[in-house]
């Protein structure tokens, strides 16, 4: 099965086919984006479930969205979020600072090794990096996550209703 087929299956079965109201499904997707782009790697699934429970969102529909940020996508996603936050806060004149911190994280000097993902020191370094990037990363992550969530909320409602009509179900 191709990657595209797997992605389609996740979207159809895990999001559109969930037995819940379109609003709660879309609300879960929205919150999934907000949590996915927050600098809480390693805690995101638990954080999402807690927030979704508290805000009465569908938990199943948002989990695939939370997986957008993972060890493979972490650096480019957080770098982009940091740049957005730095721009909004007016601290983007020191781009070199963020680039140095991130280059150190990915091992720009020594080269990337996949084995680092299983090293406690690597995850401690990620924690230090998230603290060092601070307010810019948190604000940028919230702006990007909430922005994408706002875009996908109405798309998800429309898609759930379309899916249900096509299946002959209620909307």
pLDDT confidence of residue 38: 92
First to last CA, the chain: 30
Per the structure block, which two tokens stand in for 161?
């209703």
Per the structure block, which two tokens stand in for 32?
């999934």
Q: Is residue 11 part of a domain?
A: yes
DSSP 112: -
Helices 95-106 and 120-166 meet at what angle, rounded to 10? 100
The dihedral built from the CA positions of residue 159, 162, 168 and 171, taken in this order, carries a sign that is positive
The dihedral built from the CA positions of residue 13, 14, 20 and 24, taken in this order, carries a sign that is negative
Q: Is residue 151 part of a domain?
A: yes
What gap in Å lies between CA 120 and CA 9, rounded to an integer? 34
pLDDT tens-digit map of 28-48: 999 999 999 998 888 899 999
pLDDT confidence of residue 169: 63
98 & 127 share domain: yes
Cβ burial, residue 109 (10 Å; 0-12/13-18/19+): exposed
How many domains does the chain divide into?
2
Question: How does residue 78 score in pLDDT terms, banded at 50, 70 and 90?
Answer: confident
Q: Is residue 171 part of a domain?
A: no
61 & 107 share domain: no
79 & 135 share domain: yes
pLDDT tens-digit map of 123-154: 777 777 767 667 888 999 999 999 999 999 99
62 & 120 share domain: no
- Long-range contacts, stretch 115-118, CB < 8 angstroms, 24+ apart: 117/71
Q: Is residue 159 part of a domain?
A: yes
Q: Quick check: pTM over 0.85?
A: no
65 & 83 share domain: no
């Amino acid at each position: 099965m191709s990657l595209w087929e797997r992605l389609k299956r996740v979207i159809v079965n895990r999001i559109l086919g969930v037995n819940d109201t379109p609003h709660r499904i879309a609300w879960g997707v929205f919150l999934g984006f907000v949590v996915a782009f927050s600098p809480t790697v390693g805690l995101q699934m638990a954080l999402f479930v807690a927030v979704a429970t508290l805000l009465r969102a569908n938990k199943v529909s948002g989990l695939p969205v939370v997986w957008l940020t993972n060890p493979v996508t972490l650096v480019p996603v957080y770098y982009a979020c940091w740049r957005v936050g730095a721009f909004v806060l007016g601290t983007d004149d020191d781009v070199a600072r963020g680039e140095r911190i991130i280059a150190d994280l990915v091992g720009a000097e020594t080269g990337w090794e996949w084995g680092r993902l299983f090293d406690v020191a690597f995850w401690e370094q990620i924690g230090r990096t998230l603290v060092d990037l601070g307010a810019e990363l948190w604000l940028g992550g919230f702006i990007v996550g909430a922005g994408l969530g706002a875009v996908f909320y109405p798309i998800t409602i429309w898609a759930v209703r379309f899916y249900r009509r096509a299946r002959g179900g209620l909307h």
